[in-house]
């Protein structure tokens, strides 16, 4: 686990180094107001969500800085939802056994199973709104389970909106209003805590009814 975090930190530091070193070309590209590259960015969003050669959160922030909050959110959301669908179908296909073994190392898998058994739609919606379970684990687990694709897709499509919006908003504020950035992050944290509290009340209530 420590090696994984060190590797992730190294990637972030490397990306930040190159971003700073080539900041002027990056800023010039961000400040270009045309939409000619918009379709390409949709493809890049899907690619980076499936193959995170650079952290998707950094890409999502850049999209917000370049295209604004609305279009930036759309690009981020399209990439996240499309990659989730791709992993779902890969896990449900011949790759299911391989992916199943890969996520067995996740310690909270039994907890996720219990949540899905209570209500699959709400469970996926919750872990999208409050990312307490790694995204790849959710995608693969849903694919190898008996969860319907429609429930999974709708929960993912709805649940990804707040996070993708915040990434785009933070990217926009980082270049235009850095002082407001911390307020945005604080508001997002409060939102996730509220969702966590509401889901805990519902989940606890369901357990109590089951025991009674």
DSSP characters over 147-195: --HHHHHHHHHHHHHHHHHHHHHHHHHHHH-HHHHHHHHHHHHHHHHHH
pTM (2 d.p.): 0.82
pLDDT band at 1 (very low <50, low <70, confident <90, very high): very low
* Per-residue pLDDT tens over the stretch 102-132: 777 777 777 788 788 788 999 999 999 998 8
Q: What's the rounded mean pLDDT across residues 171-187?
A: 83
pLDDT score at 212: 36
pLDDT score at 210: 38
pLDDT score at 7: 62
Helices (H) and strands (E) in the chain, counts: 10, 0
Q: What's the rounded mean pLDDT across residues 178-202?
A: 88
* Per-residue pLDDT tens over the stretch 21-59: 656 776 676 777 678 899 999 999 999 999 988 889 889
């Amino acid at each position: 686990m420590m090696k994984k975090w060190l590797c992730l930190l190294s990637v972030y530091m490397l990306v930040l180094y190159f971003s700073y070193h080539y900041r002027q070309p990056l800023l010039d590209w961000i400040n270009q107001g045309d939409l000619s590259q918009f379709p390409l960015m949709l493809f890049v969003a899907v690619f980076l969500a499936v193959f995170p050669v650079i952290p998707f959160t950094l890409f999502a922030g850049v999209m917000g800085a370049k295209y604004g909050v609305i279009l930036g959110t759309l690009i981020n959301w399209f990439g996240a939802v499309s990659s989730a669908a791709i992993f779902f179908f890969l896990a449900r296909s011949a790759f299911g056994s391989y992916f199943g073994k890969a996520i067995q190392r996740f310690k909270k898998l039994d907890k996720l199973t219990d949540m899905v058994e209570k209500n699959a739609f709400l469970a996926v919606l919750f872990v999208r709104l409050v990312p307490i379970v790694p995204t790849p684990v959710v995608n693969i687990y849903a694919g190898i389970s008996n969860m319907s694709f429609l429930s999974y897709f709708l929960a993912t499509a709805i649940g990804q909106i707040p996070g993708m919006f915040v990434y785009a908003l933070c990217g926009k504020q980082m270049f235009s209003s850095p002082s407001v950035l911390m307020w945005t992050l604080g508001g997002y944290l409060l939102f996730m805590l509220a969702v966590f509290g509401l889901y805990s009340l519902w989940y606890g209530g369901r357990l109590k009814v089951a025991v009674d």
